[in-house]
Structure 1
């Protein structure tokens, strides 16, 4: 039965290879007009870092940098560009008008480069465009009227540029628009009142421009508006419309330094208002006495001409962080119990800044908690400070919240060794298992209009929010540092760690990146809009190409190719080789074996260092009779150590694909990971001109590799091969989805686990002695070797794992 199954497997491998080859040869090309447009765009770009590979092949099939295409051809038979993602590539030059020919594009992302010149009006031809992300460049000129006729546009971010001219009235046609971020430019003129017709507008950020005229009263009719941020403009003599008090969805109103006049409107009817800043204007009259929303964190009315007394209704606001009324004309008494109904922990503070007014008394005897700061300097009441026992409130005090912070990731003193820093590995600070090393993804993230003034109480909630939004475990996300910037905006440096493994697989990296770049993280009222500043891939991720599964073939085709590859791989090699090869796939091998990394001194608990002589004796001088296998990196030998242990020894060859970097990465990985599907490292040899590693007998490999390894259920083999053939069907409708593929694989593996295959049937045995393979190889100076014990290649996917990615979860559901 086994020989028939093996013959069937051979036929399937040939058929699978042929199908996949036909698919790759017959795949449709990118629309020629879009190819020409991309080449024209490339011609206008300056790429000093050589990031772009736009000179060869077909854009969609050759994975041009940052060019993402639809899964398969559309009705016209061509592949089409869906996204251009060139965030933070250090590009300069300008955008070519031919960009308007990318008529199927959904996302245009050139954020944080150095592009200049006018923004092509031809972008207005891309009717499918949903996200226009051009912030952080040096674009100049006016915003084209044509942008107002993009029916699917939901986000326009061109902030932090050098735009001038007025806001196009045509923007009132953008019925899908949710986010207008045009802050930090030189846009001038009147804000078009017509924008009140935008039914889905959530955020309107126009701060730090040269806008003038009046505040449109019609904005009170915006049904979904949550943030209106117009700071640092010139609405000289304009009033704040009283109708703004009817904005039922408003969360933040920021009109700082706008030269506004007149009274402060009554905003007490806005049920969720959390942030109010009307400072540095010329507002007059009294402060409305009605109580604001219980969600309010920030009230800043400083540097105006307000008079009257301080309302007692500022008391009893449970999450208030700051009440700033300094530099006004306020009179009367200072309320002494404004912190009632508030609960403070170590990170919460309340700042009450009443400096430089005409306050003459204080009601009661103030005895605030340590977390409350009262500032009275510059008021008449401080002339009697000693008698009133308020001297501590009349001197200089720190009225600022923590402006920045850095959380150190220091190793525990109980950890036996440091992580492999040469590959940017580090301890995972919040990992359940202490001393666990992994390589993080580093993310630069900025909150553009947060709804609070003191970040510390919101740090942990933000970490939970982002972890959930990214579909990660809480311990996979770590807030490395933060800093407040002008705006105020909050800059965050975040580290993301893989789950239960030392590195992310490529599909997981691209999934996370897509969540950031596509703005798929759910919206949060308190944290407000964000922007991605950087997505840094170092160490084992340094050569991950920023493309996605959207390029080229459909998911079914890709799954078919993967399945076919797995069939061949299981037949021809050990699972450990597959795992190690995948681990090294994130690197580019060095072109010369003479270009080696510096020697790394490895000190790993439970892993013994061997010398070359011991390895030679164990394998009878690496004799041919001891050889049990051979791979791309070198040969595998059966060895008998001095203590009687039967091991497998890998020896890398001089001309192998494995460089010193890959070897040390493999050594680090095997020494730290413990899993039933991974080799257990026993030892290594690190001598000049040699790299050797050893694995001990006692594991299991897929029994279809060799008849000496025992019986394997032929029905499972046939089902597995049948699945591979289904994935290579020419018609996309006949191919299963990747979800169906994973489900079928899990069912097959379940059949294997319930079959009558006994452990003795599936022991790994590359030779008659039943030895797990090990390889070793000749290398120039700076080499090493490893020994490992227990290996299994039963491809059992754990909960939430992807059997196509070596157990690394590529789709993680929220926990």
Structure 2
């Protein structure tokens, strides 16, 4: 549900906070007054809050806005806001923050979401220094801090090791502050713009001449995107301007008449569009049930807001040479989809609007009716009043039910907590008291903290029997209802496998929710790959096999089966012997079960969740989660094991980089040099397996059982491990799928067919040409 209307002073009405399904609130450029209502923090599904250019009475930003855990964009530009910026570190999905042109004081937020793309805090009265954590924001596109009272230095880590790819840009606007120096080397990549005018640092002539003089550039302006086509005879396309060759058409030199559409993104969560052109094209064509080649972005440019305006061309499918135009029913259908907001919600691209739907050339005489006219203000007012009335009625009913049912829970045993009574019924895990956990962690001493994730902080604890454990303590924004928490405990208590991190117990006292796991002394796979300590090829291969076996158990042996949904290198932990175990089922979903008619769906429909870089693209587009979504994520982990690179870094995607290297016969140039020597035949098969797991279409990816078998086959052909005892996957085969035809070797023939060189031994550090270096994070 989106709210995009022109209103006056309605923001002060608390009834708005009862719109529990509201996702987008765009009330910018109105005449709103009063205070920013703290009740908006009750909108648990809110993704975009945009209130720019209103006339609030000088109040501050409510601290409770930091509890909007699903917020992707917060834009309060030019709203006459005073006071300090509240803590926003508990909003893990925040991508865009604009608090510019206000009267805000104090320091900047010390930490923000790791995935944030835009930070605009310009034209305020902020003081202090630029937080060090800003140097670790890998996806940052724009940092605007001009016209404040900032002091200290500018760290070169803000742009160090940035990619030189032109599609990924970074603009740092720090003008008119009191910054005095630059810490580090001034070697800016071409795609970085640094503006320092009006700072004491500009007294240095070298800096003044380069970074302090006013000049244009650094901003994304109107661009035209083109796709290469084969050389075609001009005569094969009509001479008028209404027909043109279709870019990237599967039919060479296919000439067709496109529909021309004016389209605008009203609240995108990015500052540079170029890196996201391809995902946007897939998003639009998937929503229209078209192939990507049918869409061409003729041009785009930013408007005040900022809003992104673009002109699109939609071509008919290249079925045959005679299907070069849409018929009237097809045109009507396309127009209705655009005009009636039928695109699936996407918080990254945000809400959109149709600006024009131009019918030219062969479409000029078509009578396309406007079935989906815009809703008038009067209708909007009626809708809002109806929604508010319904919310009030529902709230009243819930209150009455709570009051009626309250006596049932009043007769508790003295000194007992009901949740503890329920806990005793959960078999297989131990119930810890809050006091026991406090003693185990030395009262949650910071020295015992070993990690932090979306769930909360993780502590190392020692139980009275000297058992070392890992304790995950939920933060306020991650707390569940008692029933949901105990349901998750019951699910986790039934999962037992040597390649899954074991749940030992839990604590549910004093409003706390904590999970107690076995301790994994070697940390996460991501940490090990980031360390300078090398892991040889056999160790990496065994880690891959351990991980695949753990996930195979979840898919086929768990009762009920489970889709993990967040497989990544930081969720694969290593014990003292470097045995890999899959962890963190906080996003897991039960796999589909057979209904009363004996039908077994092959997917679960759900809100998309996961980690960028590991996310199955088909799941992202369709919201249909399957076991093949886990296969894709594991394939990305395999590529990390092979290359040492991170899944996404400054616009570079590891799947794309590996594909390009293989297609260019440079596969060995991207292998992690810290791996040491390795048999090339094994590397080739491992790379082919990883690429197979990461195919765009789910049906073409191997099943997890095939992944386990292929990894076992690669391990068997290692020169010194032919006689090693390897766990067989045959038990899974009998229980889940029919046996493969042929021998075990034939089951992996798909992967072996991608070999590109003979089976000699390579030493990664000896590669001296064609090397694509691993780029560490900024």
TM range (shorter): 0.3 to 0.5
TM superposition score normalised by structure 1: 0.43
TM superposition score normalised by structure 2: 0.45
Q: Which has the larger radius of gyration?
A: 1
Q: Considering fraction of residues, name the structure with more helix.
A: 2
